[in-house]
């Protein structure tokens, strides 16, 4: 079955079809158009910079803009500064986020050069300390993470990291089936997504990458066992 609900703590998503945070596209207007088509269980903002939202600069406020019809909404943060990420998470909770997600998958240089995005996959121990602080900070909404398989083929960390994220209290993991080195080339590796699914005990794993049709989504779910 393609469409099934997902429970995240007290939040019940009507479907397991999640709108990815597509950088440069996923503003409020885009999200509302997607929701109008039906079937969106959860939509996500574009990547939000902690400094930007805390200073409430114009661009960040446009990216974080929402309305009552834009629900449920995930706000996705990125970066590596633990203190500022925690402050931004509190900001997001106070401004209507139903879910807060940490981006651990962006391969873009301007993000990774500042130790954010998929650079967090390169030092699992430091990343887990950051995760634990965020988990302790986020009190009222589910906390989730999105990541890639690893930095490159010598650094495939997603299965072990997903297991540790679950143990730390992360309530859902989204896995893009590519490494950072691949960026958006080649094909998303379904076997890599399946390994992440096998590594966790109970939390939902959402597969990501190359979903261009309902048939693609169904194929990924059947092959990997991912929940959505």
Residues 6+ apart with CB under 8 A from 33: none
Could you give the dihedral angle defined by the CA atoms of residues 81, 82, 87 and 91, in that order, rounded to the nearest 10 degrees?
80
The Cα diameter of the chain in Å comes to 45
- Give the count of beta carbons closer than 10 Å to the beta carbon of residue 176: 28
Q: What are phi and psi of 150, to 5 degrees?
A: 165, 180
Residues 6+ apart with CB under 8 A from 57: none
Q: Where are the alpha helices (DSSP H) in 100-213?
A: 109-112, 124-137, 158-167, 190-199
Residues forming the active site: 106
Q: Are strands 6-8 and 11-13 parallel, antiparallel or unpaired?
A: antiparallel
């Amino acid at each position: 079955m393609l469409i099934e609900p997902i429970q995240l703590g007290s939040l019940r998503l009507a479907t397991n079809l999640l709108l990815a945070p597509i950088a440069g596209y996923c503003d409020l207007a885009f999200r509302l158009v997607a929701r109008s088509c039906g079937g969106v269980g959860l939509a996500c903002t574009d990547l939000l910079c902690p400094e930007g939202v805390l200073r409430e600069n114009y661009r960040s406020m446009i990216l974080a803009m929402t309305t009552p019809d834009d629900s449920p909404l995930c706000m996705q943060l990125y970066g590596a500064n633990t203190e500022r990420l925690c402050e931004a998470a509190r900001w997001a909770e106070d401004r209507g986020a139903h879910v807060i997600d940490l981006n651990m998958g962006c391969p873009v240089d301007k993000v990774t050069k500042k130790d954010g995005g998929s650079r967090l996959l390169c030092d699992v121990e430091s990343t887990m300390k950051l995760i634990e602080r965020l988990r302790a900070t986020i009190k009222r909404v589910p906390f989730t993470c999105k990541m890639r398989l690893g930095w490159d083929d010598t650094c495939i960390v997603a299965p072990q990291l997903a297991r540790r994220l679950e143990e730390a209290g992360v309530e859902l993991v989204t896995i893009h089936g590519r490494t950072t080195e691949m960026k958006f080339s080649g094909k998303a590796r379904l076997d890599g997504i399946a390994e992440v699914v096998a590594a966790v005990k109970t939390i939902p794993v959402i597969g990501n990458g190359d979903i261009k049709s309902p048939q693609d989504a169904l194929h990924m779910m059947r092959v990997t066992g991912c929940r959505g």
